[in-house]
Amino acid sequence: MDNQVNVTYIIIDGYVDIDEYRYLYFVIMFTAYILILCSNSTVVYLIWIHPNLHEPMYIFIAALLINSVVYSTVFYPKLLTDFLSDKQIITYSACLFQWFIFYSLVSSEFLLLAAMAYDRYVSICKPLQYPTIMRKNTVIMFLVLAWLVPVCLIAVPIVQNVNKKLCKFIFKGIICSSTVYKLHCVESRTLNIYGLIVFSNLVLLPVLFILFTYTRIFIITYRSCREVRRKAAQTCLPHLIVLINFSCLTTYDVLLLRLEIDFPKTVRFIMSLQLLVYHPLFNPIIYGLKMKEIYKHLKRLFCKM
């Protein structure tokens, strides 16, 4: 294979029995893609058109769902093409692009969940100061930071790896992640340390902040009346469910794969599908059914239809 970056191809070796089940895979994933687009877009549309949903919490939810749409739109066309192709290959530059989008959106989601946790903390624990703290400019600043900071930080290793020489050309997975570094002839210790720093800043610290924030909320609401506890559970529980679900999936990809644990090919394939199918569908279902105001508008929409 030519070692020029723009013509270097990598073999995707993560599919299980693709020759036998290619059409079944295609139908399932195509259906999942349509469901992801429709479900996420519907909730975003409802938040957009209804003034009573123009609050920080719902705006952050809309941002999360937009991330799911972008995430799916980047990865699904390539997956669907692979299912119908005799050879599953990807250019090295396209693989780096997948890596960049994957970690940028994953990091963005953790930052958005942290912003939502802060919003719930101010709303429940400091209700009188809420309009002053969570102003429109504050929400915009949180959104810009949640999208821009990951892009800037993740871009550094991508740029550094563009001209890296490859000695291996078989990638064990179906979407490119940071484990692409295993294909390089020489591993960069500096980039590995940088990756750990970025992981700490974009994933570990937001998760610790979220856990601390919700702990404070539950301590304060436990001492309050029953109505306050009910409101806290109603608004915080969906965020915690999404956080736990997403953290488990991310832990597999970011930590276990980098520790080079030898998972069976079938397990790798199933876990990759979890990230591609389960989570993008999970968010709109949880927020659509568990958030009372969104559920009311969804019910009215389907009743009209």
Res 244: pLDDT: 82
Q: Is residue 206 part of a domain?
A: yes
The range of the structural domain enclosing residue 152 comes to 9-303
Res 275: pLDDT: 82
Q: Is residue 1 part of a domain?
A: no
Res 142: pLDDT: 95
Between vectors from CA 74 to CA 71 and to CA 78, what angle results, nearest 5°? 130
Q: What is the DSSP letter of 166?
A: B
Res 251: pLDDT: 75
Q: How far apart are CA 201 and CA 183, in angstroms?
A: 26
Res 259: pLDDT: 64
Res 58: pLDDT: 92
Residue found under tokens 């139908």:
27
Q: Is residue 25 part of a domain?
A: yes
Q: How far apart are CA 37 and CA 199, in angstroms?
A: 29
Q: Is residue 79 part of a domain?
A: yes
Q: Is residue 4 part of a domain?
A: no
Q: Is residue 47 part of a domain?
A: yes
Q: What is the domain-level CATH number for residue 152?
A: 1.20.1070.10
Res 261: pLDDT: 65
Query: What SS3 state is found at 198?
Result: helix
What's the domain count of the chain? 1
Q: Is residue 150 part of a domain?
A: yes
Per-residue pLDDT of the chain (305 residues; tens, 9 = 90+): 444 445 688 888 888 888 888 899 999 999 999 999 999 999 999 999 998 889 999 999 999 999 999 999 999 999 999 998 888 899 988 999 999 999 999 899 999 999 999 998 898 888 889 899 999 999 999 999 999 999 999 999 898 888 888 888 888 888 888 778 888 888 778 888 888 899 889 988 999 999 899 888 888 877 777 776 777 777 777 778 888 877 877 777 666 556 666 677 788 888 888 888 888 888 888 888 777 888 888 888 888 76
Q: How far apart are CA 237 and CA 161, in angstroms?
A: 40
Structure tokens at 75: 């990865």
Q: Is residue 3 part of a domain?
A: no
Q: How far apart are CA 92 and CA 107, in angstroms?
A: 23
* pTM tops 0.75: yes
Q: How far apart are CA 94 and CA 91, in angstroms?
A: 5
Phi, psi of 38 (to 5 degrees): -70, -45
Res 148: pLDDT: 95
